[in-house]
Chains A and B, each alone.
Chain A
Amino acid sequence: MTLKIKLFAAAAQAIDNDHVRVVCATPVTIPALKLLLLEQHPALESILPYCRFAVNHEFISDEYSITAEHELALIPPVSGG
């Protein structure tokens, strides 16, 4: 299964794209997905520890089971305002 993850700000800049794809078995939890992201996209290493994940426009906890049907986004620390 391939998951698409939307990227923003410094995370998008690190990859030079507004999304990445991660090959993984689903459902997958956040800690497992973070390890796969690092393996497959090491350029995200410096920003990833500070990021939250959002599924269908809501922040999610580490226990959440992610499947391919979800809209998935990596949310770096925000700086609006």
Chain B
Amino acid sequence: MAVHIIHHEIDTQRMLAAVSQSSAGAQLLFIGTTRAITGDRVTQWLDYEAYQPMAVSKLEQLEYTANERWNICAIEIVHRLGKVLPGEASVAIAVSSPHREDAFACGRWLIDTLKQDIPIWKQEHWLDEQPQWIHPVNKALDDS
């Protein structure tokens, strides 16, 4: 399977090589990186945690579904856990396809769905604030 959860730097060149195929006319690489500035807050680093066996299983399901929906040659999905510094990659997705439309649509769907359904969480280590687990309802939680 082309799904990996790792604790070290993501090797995007390896991922591109892994999706390289003679039937492909397009290779797409998405890299999600740690943002240093969010509004007026400064991030020192992010700390990622996963429910690892479920995350791998759900990512493999995404890969399977993507192959059903689009004309794809190969997919590589890598998510990094632990401490990720600003500018470093926390997630990378490589997709190859005979034509570019499928790679763009599939890559977009993979990262959007990953962010909704894969049991991985980030903790923000802000400058001058307590670390904060990020959950998409944090605003409601903070207000309660």
Contact = CB atoms under 8 A, between A and B. Distances in A.
Contacts of A9: 49, 121, 123, 133, 135
A73 B51 contact: yes
B135 A80 contact: no
B135 A81 contact: no
Interface string B105-144: 0000001001111111111000000000111110011001
Given A54-B51, A57-B57, A78 B123 contact: no
Contacts, number: 83
Interface in B62-84: 79
A80 B122 CA distance: 6
SS of B interface (majority) = mixed
Given A8-B51, A9-B49, A46-B144, A78 B133 contact: no
A78 B121 contact: yes
Interface of A: 6, 8-10, 13, 46-47, 50, 54, 57-59, 73, 75-81
Given A79-B134, A79-B136, 10 more contacts: A6-B51, A8-B49, A8-B51, A9-B123, A10-B121, A47-B135, A50-B140, A54-B54, A78-B120, A81-B90
